[in-house]
Each structure stands twice: as C-alpha cells, then as structure tokens.
Amino acid sequence: MAVQWTKDLSVGVAFIDEQHQTWFKKANDLFEAGMKGKARDNIFQMLEFLDDYTKTHFGDEEKYMLQIHYPEYGIQKSLHTGFINELAKLKKEFEQSGGNVVVIINANQMVVDWLVKHITVQDKKIGEYVKRLGK
C-alpha cells in the first residue's frame, strides 16, 4: 500500500517536513519496485538507501531536538532506535528469503503505519513545541 505525504502530516519545521517528504517517496519507490517485480539487487539498493536515509533523518531530528531542548527527546530517541532495528530485521529477512519481493510488499504496511503514526503522534509535538518557543 503506497502512501503519499500530505499537508496534514506537516510538522511545521521546514527541514523535518522536507525530509519526511523524501522518506515517503523512497518508501513508496521501494514498495512499487516490489509490486513491479524489480530485480533483487535493485530492491536491495533501495532498501539500503531507505535504511541510510532513515538514520540520517533521525540523526538530524535528534540533533535539532537537543538544540531546542525538546523535553521528549528520550522518547523520540527510543522510538527511532526501535524503528531502525525493525528496518534491520526487514533487510535481514529480505536477504534470507533470497530476495523474495513478497517480504517487501508485506513489510510495507508496517513501515507506512509506523511513519504515519510517528509523525502524527510524536513529530507534530516537536512543531507544537517550536511554536511555543516562538522560533
């Protein structure tokens, strides 16, 4: 199931919203590659990119939260670590399955659900905090 970033997912912090948009695009590209039966190597490269991008995004977001003294930093950090671990499991499962694209298709729901829930429940709080700071 592909999902698109929409304005209602906006956090209100420009760089976070831009990174989220890229994240959704890459997750959708990965899903589409699985649906279209793309080559295993192509899918693995996309999965690697998504994993790297996720780590970069989380690192940028965490650095920003520390800069603004965001009070729920620890919660966010823990959730980010959990998601990175889930992506690592997905990559391992894909490798162990011999490149079975069904693994990617089935995992897409987990990724999409996590992204949407995390942004709407957790990341939007960052934007609200920033507004209260007047930044």
> Is residue 40 one of the residues assigned to a domain?
yes
Rounded Cα gap, residues 61 and 50, in angstroms: 16
Q: Does 14 reside within a domain?
A: no
Is 109 among the domain residues?
Answer: yes
Establish if 13 belongs to a structural domain: no
Cβ–Cβ under 8 Å, residues 6 and 120: no
pLDDT score, position 2: 64
Residue 32 lies in a domain: yes
Digit-by-digit pLDDT tens for the chain (135 residues) are 567 788 899 999 999 999 999 888 887 777 777 777 666 767 777 778 888 888 999 999 999 999 999 999 999 999 999 999 988 888 888 888 877 777 777 677 777 788 889 999 999 999 999 999 886
What pLDDT, on a 0 to 100 scale, did the predictor assign at position 4? 78
Pair 46, 26: CB distance under 8 Å = yes
Q: Is residue 93 a part of any domain in this protein? A: yes
Q: What pLDDT score was predicted for residue 33?
A: 74
Q: What is the DSSP letter of 12?
A: S
Tokens of 77: 């950090």
Residue 106 lies in a domain: yes
This prediction's pTM: 0.83
- The CATH number assigned to the domain holding 103 equals 1.20.120.50
**Residue 10 lies inside a defined structural domain of this protein:** no
Q: Which of 18, 24, 28 is nearest to 5 (CA)?
A: 24
Q: 50 is in which domain, residue-wise?
A: 20-133
Domain count of the chain? 1
pLDDT of residue 38: 67
